[in-house]
Amino acid sequence: MPRLLESEITKYLETLEDSEDGLDGSDSEVEDEGHYYQTARDVLRDLENSDEGENAQSDEVDADPPLVIDNDQNMPDPPILEAGEAVPQSRSQEISKRPLVWRKRNLVTAKDSLIFRGETQITEALMSCNTPYDFFSFYFTSDLKKQIVEQSNLYAAQKQISNPEIINENILNKFLGILIYTSVIKFPNTRAYWSDKFGYDHIKNTMPLKKFEKIRSTLHFADNTLCLPKDHPDYDRLFKIRPLEEMLNCQFGKVPLDQRLSIDEQMCTTKMSHYIKQYMANKPHKWGFKLYLICSLQGYAHRFEVYSGGGSKNNILPGEPDLGESGNTVVTLARMVPRNVNHIIYFDNFYTSVPLVTYLAKEGIFSLGTVRVNRLRNCKLPDKNTIMKKNVPRGFYEENVATVDDIDVSAVVWKDNKPVNLLSPYVGAEPATTVTRFDKSKKERVAIPCPKVIKEYNAHMGGVDLLDSFIGRYHITMKSRKWTMRLFYHFLDLAVINSWVMFKKVNNIKGNDQLLNLGTFRLELAETLCKLGLPANGAKRGRPSGSTIQRELVMKKFRGPAQAIPLKDVRLDQTCHWAVWLDKQQRDIRDCRRRHEKRNVWISMTPEMKKVYVDQDVNIQFQGYLLEAGGETESEDKPTIKLTQEAVTKILEKFSEVKKDKKKLTDKFVIEKYSRKISNASQWMDIFQ
Q: For residue 612, count CB atoms less than 10 angstroms from its CB and return exposed for 0-12, middle for 13-18, buried for 19 or more.
A: middle
Tell me the pTM: 0.68
CA dihedral of 197, 199, 200, 203, whole degrees rounded to 10: -130
Bigger pLDDT: 625 vs 273: 273
Phi and psi of 491, rounded to 5°? -65, -40
pLDDT tens digits for 623-665? Answer: 332 333 333 333 444 443 444 556 656 665 655 554 455 444 4
CA of 347: how far to CAs of 330, 341, 413, 461, 645, in Å?
9, 19, 17, 7, 67
Segment (H or E) for 556: helix 548-556
Do 432 and 399 contact (CB within 8 A), yes or no? no
What pLDDT is attached to residue 549?
67
The highest-confidence range among 33-37, 194-198, 485-489, by mean pLDDT, is: 485-489
DSSP character string of 251-297: HHTTSPPPSEEEEEEEEEE-----TT-EE-TTSSS-EEEEEEEEEET
Distance CA 672, CA 165 (A): 45
Q: What is the mean pLDDT of the chain?
A: 76
pLDDT tens digits for 524-541? Answer: 999 999 998 744 444 445
DSSP character string of 402-445: EEETTEEEEEEEEESSSEEEEEESS--SPSPEEEEEEETTTTEE
Grade residue 87 by pLDDT with cuts at 50, 70 and 90.
very low
Distance CA 517, CA 653 (A): 50
What pLDDT is attached to residue 651?
60
Per DSSP, the three-state class of 627 is: strand
Per DSSP, the three-state class of 366 is: strand
Confidence check: pLDDT of 427 > 80? yes
Nearest in space to 590 (alpha carbons), one of 655, 652, 672: 672
Grade residue 580 by pLDDT with cuts at 50, 70 and 90.
low
What pLDDT is attached to residue 111?
85
CA-CA-CA-CA torsion sign (16, 22, 28, 30): negative
Do 614 and 643 contact (CB within 8 A), yes or no? no
Share of the chain above pLDDT 90, in %: 50
Distance CA 521, CA 507 (A): 13
Grade residue 441 by pLDDT with cuts at 50, 70 and 90.
confident
Confidence check: pLDDT of 152 > 90? yes
Grade residue 576 by pLDDT with cuts at 50, 70 and 90.
low
Flag the least confident range among 19-28, 168-177, 225-234, 323-332: 19-28
What pLDDT is attached to residue 343?
96
**Amino acid sitting at position 212:** F
